[in-house]
Amino acid sequence: MTDLELVDGTLAGRRQDFEVLVERHQRMLYAVAVRYLHDADTADEVVQATFVSAYVHLGRFRREASFPTWLCGILLNQCRSARRRVRGRREVALEEAPEAALGVRDDDAERAAERAALARHIERLPPRQRSVLGLRLFADLPFDEIAQAEGITVNAAKVNYHLAVARLRSWLRRTP
C-alpha cells in the first residue's frame, strides 16, 4: 500500500494503517532527530511526539508534499522545541570523561573524537543550514521536499545545504 492509501485508511478509522506508516518511517525520522539533537533518548521522544502530532493532525495533511516530507516538517518543529527545552541544562560531554574509565581503544577513541568534532561543528551551523543538511543527508530527501518541509524555495534549500557543507569542510580542515 502507498502512504496515501494508508493515510486514507487511517482517516477512515483503520488504526492499523497508521501503525504501518509508523513502522515505515520511524527509522528515517529517528536518524534525522538523533543527528539534529545528538541525544538518542531525546530523539526517541521527539519521534514519538512527531507521530502523535501527525495522528492528531492527519486531517490537515494536504498532499501538496509527500507524507515523509510532511512528517519531517513536524519532526523539525519537535526538534526545535526539544532544543529550546534543554538549552538551560548543563551536561558533561562524553569526550570529557577519562578514556580509561570508558574502556576505549585508541582507534575507537580517534573515530569518536572525529565524530565529536563533526557534531560540534554541525551544532555551530545556523539552524536552517543544520536542518537542511540533516534532511538531505540523513532523511535522504530531495531538495524540493526539503524546501516544502522548511517552507523555503528549492534554490534556498540548495544554497543552505551547500553553505553548510562548505562551512563544515572549512572548519574540519582547521580542526587539529
pTM surpassing 0.95? no
Q: How far, in Å, CA of 101 to CA of 94, rounded?
A: 11
Q: What secondary structure letter does DSSP report for 17?
A: H
Show pLDDT as tens, one digit a residue, over the chain (176 residues): 999 999 999 999 999 999 999 999 999 999 999 888 888 999 999 999 999 999 999 999 988 889 999 999 999 999 988 888 876 554 545 455 455 544 545 567 677 777 778 878 888 889 899 889 888 887 788 899 889 888 899 999 999 999 999 988 888 888 65
Which residue has 516530507 as its cell numbers? 69
What are the structural domains, with CATH classification, of the chain?
1-89 (1.10.1740.10), 104-176 (1.10.10.10)
Residue type for position 96: E
**Residue whose C-alpha cell is 541544562:** 89
